A and B are shown apart, each in its own frame.
Chain A
Amino acid sequence: MNIHEYQAKELFSSFGIPIPEGRVATTPAAAEKIATELASPVVIKAQIHAGGRGKAGGVKRAASPEAARAAAAELLGRTLVTHQTGPAGKIVHKVLVERVAAVKTEIYLGITIDRTQRVPVIMASPAGGMEIEQIADESPDKIFKEWIHPEIGLRPFQAYRLALKLGLDAAETRAVAQVITALHRVFVDKDCLLVETNPLIIDNNGAALALDAKINFDDNGLFRHPDIVALRDPAEEDPLESAARKSNLNYVKLHGNVGCLVNGAGLAMATMDLIKLAGAEPANFLDVGGGANEDMIEQGFSLLLSDPDVNAVFINIFGGILRCDILARGIVAAVSRRSVDVPVIVRLEGTNVEQGREILDRSGLHFQRANDLAEAAALIARAVQEVAQ
């Protein structure tokens, strides 16, 4: 789960990490009022769940409260397209209005799980402001790391050793080491997958200040953190994805037009690949999971049919825990409630496959049966060609 920059900064602040003075606004008038109260030049930052906002024009400076109002008016309600939003972009509903800081030095700090070492890793770089992937590509020698042993946690000597590599003076090094220690506490206490501040700056007075904040939480750990769950912003989620989450379906909207319903994440990805190899594009990732019941299948199938981009559907089930007869009943229930006017291709295999096929055959649903994946690929290719004509 992701949260907004302003929410991440509030969390940082509650762990003792210094952040610029500022508040969030939803109207131009509110932005003007905040700028007036700060009595300083401000920066207006669009609040969307995506990186690359600066390059996309989502961050503006304003020298006066009037200019802050104008900048906020320009951003609020606008659709921002960054390299992380996809071509559809995201609508800006909130802006963060902050006091402009006098930047002396920019630093990158981030913590994530190192899957190879299987422990958290803290990364620091003096090349702050650039994205970490870009630093890794262009100057890997400028990324410094400390691995954290979970039995003993982050030790002070490690935080200091890491900060010392950034080429700062003694007081600045101590300030950055304190931020590193606090960031690690956020990471562990809140079950995070990623905690990042880029840039952390040293200002003209030698103080450290987190100018940006990004946190990604482990969905599997959210049961321990009702305070974090409360930060969820429904406006940032695709409506189809929200509906899917409520039904316990694993759904990701994509940009193609062949909808697919599959059990198991690996098979679902492989099915997307199969669709692509057949010359089409998948409209979604949908894993109904191992323990799906009839209702979930019905809702999953309805979800695909309610997507206006979908003009063919491929159902690919390898029954294991999920029995084919249950799958078939769910499909029949969905079809009884709405008309199906796109071609449907079904591939069933595994537990109770004969019963499943029989239920579908008697359902009155017009569908094409594929006996294996190769046959399914051929049928998808044909269906897509027919739709195109």
Chain B
Amino acid sequence: MSILVDENTRVLVQGITGREGRFHTEQMLAYGTKIVAGVTPGKGGQQVAGVPVFDTVAQAVAETSPTAAMVFVPPRFAADAILEAADGSIKLVICLTEGIPVHDMVQVRRYLDIHAVKLIGPNTPGVISPGKAKLGLMAGYIHQPGPVGVMSRSGTLNYEAVHQLSQRGIGQSTCVGIGGDPIIGLSFTDILELFAADDQTKAVVLIGEIGGNAEEEAARYIGAGFPKPVVAFIAGRTAPPGRRMGHAGAIVTGASGTADAKIAALETAGVKVVPSPADIGAAVAAVM
């Protein structure tokens, strides 16, 4: 099976005529992703790589029936783009934009919850179900289809984990970047629920980092009877408190959000936590 996206997902790309939107639309089409429409205000009637462009999401929905939207829109307009997708009754939105103000996301997240819209990100490399569909920025060739679900707050660290798996001949069911911002859509716990119900997924890799308490919540959920083995790595053990490490969400404030607290919570829940990022692949091989 896989989760969230597959060969039947019909994708709408918002911001398709921008540099990033155009480039990644071509890359995703080459991977086999079904992109049915693009939206850029003022560019309706154009085409990008053979994909029709509309002025509004409403027009694109009426003409092409997309089931997922991807947001490649600059930070100051991204919240509006997410809301427009939700307003168009699209139930899965993947927002790749980095740098959206957190107060914008407070409002967006409330609206999406009320309308039962799933959001991935923002500030995410996206989602890939290897061999089926790629809705993101990741290099497709490092992935291969298989039994391991991968989820992380970071992009390149996600690639690192996937690479270590593929090098050992272990494929992936779906890889999800949940995003590096303080307020995001689906959490580790939400993704774990999806992996629990997915036949293809036999084990899960969780790549966390300092800041917030998403890893602690995931640990509670896993400890309550998650049916598949989980391997984890938590980045940022050496990060000093009070300094933001790139991701807007990666900051240790006071006693909360430390790597040690997250590692302890995960280990208590029976998760195999590797101390070094070099050991992710080997640890997964050991539990398979």
Q: Tell whether A and B belong to one assembly.
A: yes
A contact set with B: CB distance below 8 Å? 84, 86, 113, 115-116, 118-120, 132-133, 136-137, 149-151, 188, 191, 193, 218-221, 223-224, 250, 252, 254, 262-277, 281-282, 285, 287, 290-291, 318-321, 349-351, 372-374, 376-377
Within the complex, the shortest CB–CB distance from A225 to chain B, in Å, comes to: 10
A150 and B182 in contact, given A218-B101, A272-B239 (Cβ under 8 angstroms): no
Q: Answer whether residue B130 sits at the interface, using C-beta atoms and an 8 A cutoff.
A: no
Within the complex, the shortest CB–CB distance from B224 to chain A, in Å, comes to: 17
Contacts of B245 in A (CB 8 A): 252, 265, 268-269, 285, 287
CA distance A5 to B103 in the complex (A): 23
**Interface locus among B39-47, B52-60, B137-145, B194-202:** B137-145
Extra A-B contacts (8), CB below 8 Å, given A265-B246, A266-B235, A350-B159: A115-B249, A118-B183, A151-B110, A191-B102, A265-B154, A265-B245, A266-B156, A269-B235
CA distance A372 to B280 in the complex (A): 12
Q: Answer whether residue B242 sits at the interface, using C-beta atoms and an 8 A cutoff.
A: yes
CA distance A118 to B182 in the complex (A): 8
A221–B139 touching, CB < 8 Å: no
A290 and B237 in contact, given A266-B152, A267-B160, A269-B209 (Cβ under 8 angstroms): no
Within the complex, the shortest CB–CB distance from B42 to chain A, in Å, comes to: 21
- Interface 0/1 of B244-288, CB less than 8 Å to A: 111111100011000000000000000000011111000000000
A221–B103 touching, CB < 8 Å: yes
A273 and B277 in contact, given A150-B106, A193-B102, A290-B137 (Cβ under 8 angstroms): yes
6 example contacts (A-B, Cβ-Cβ < 8 A) are as follows: A113-B183, A218-B101, A254-B240, A271-B277, A290-B156, A377-B276
Give the one of A116, A221, A273 with max B CB within 10 A. Answer: A273
Contacts of B100 in A (CB 8 A): 220
> Looking across the interface, which residue of chain A has its beta carbon closest to that of B76?
A223
CA distance A265 to B156 in the complex (A): 8
A265 and B247 in contact, given A254-B240, A350-B159 (Cβ under 8 angstroms): yes
A119 and B106 in contact, given A220-B101, A269-B209, A269-B250 (Cβ under 8 angstroms): yes
A120 and B106 in contact, given A115-B183, A276-B237 (Cβ under 8 angstroms): yes
Contacts of A271 in B (CB 8 A): 277
- Interface 0/1 of B65-100, CB less than 8 Å to A: 000000000011000000000000000000000011
Within the complex, the shortest CB–CB distance from A88 to chain B, in Å, comes to: 13
> Looking across the interface, which residue of chain A has its beta carbon closest to that of B103?
A191
A220–B248 touching, CB < 8 Å: yes
B contact set with A: CB distance below 8 Å? 20, 75-76, 99-104, 106-107, 109-110, 125, 137-139, 142, 152-160, 163-164, 180, 182-183, 207, 209-210, 212-214, 217, 233, 235-240, 242-250, 254-255, 275-279
Within the complex, the shortest CB–CB distance from A83 to chain B, in Å, comes to: 10
CA distance A347 to B30 in the complex (A): 28
Contacts of B103 in A (CB 8 A): 188, 191, 218, 221
A133 and B254 in contact, given A266-B235, A276-B237, A350-B139 (Cβ under 8 angstroms): yes
A265–B250 touching, CB < 8 Å: yes
B240–A320 touching, CB < 8 Å: no
> Looking across the interface, which residue of chain A has its beta carbon closest to that of B251?
A193
CA distance A319 to B155 in the complex (A): 11
> Looking across the interface, which residue of chain B has its beta carbon closest to that of A133?
B254
> Looking across the interface, which residue of chain B has its beta carbon closest to that of A223?
B76
A270 and B243 in contact, given A220-B101, A277-B275, A318-B163 (Cβ under 8 angstroms): no
Contacts of B102 in A (CB 8 A): 113, 191, 193, 218, 220-221
B254–A136 touching, CB < 8 Å: yes
Within the complex, the shortest CB–CB distance from B273 to chain A, in Å, comes to: 12
> Looking across the interface, which residue of chain A has its beta carbon closest to that of B142?
A350
B238–A272 touching, CB < 8 Å: yes
Contacts of B243 in A (CB 8 A): 252, 285
A268–B246 touching, CB < 8 Å: yes
Within the complex, the shortest CB–CB distance from B191 to chain A, in Å, comes to: 16
A270 and B240 in contact, given A113-B102, A150-B107 (Cβ under 8 angstroms): no
B239–A373 touching, CB < 8 Å: no
A320–B156 touching, CB < 8 Å: yes
CA distance A118 to B179 in the complex (A): 15
CA distance A311 to B153 in the complex (A): 31
CA distance A118 to B212 in the complex (A): 11
A269–B180 touching, CB < 8 Å: no
Contacts of A268 in B (CB 8 A): 245-246
> Looking across the interface, which residue of chain A has its beta carbon closest to that of B160?
A318
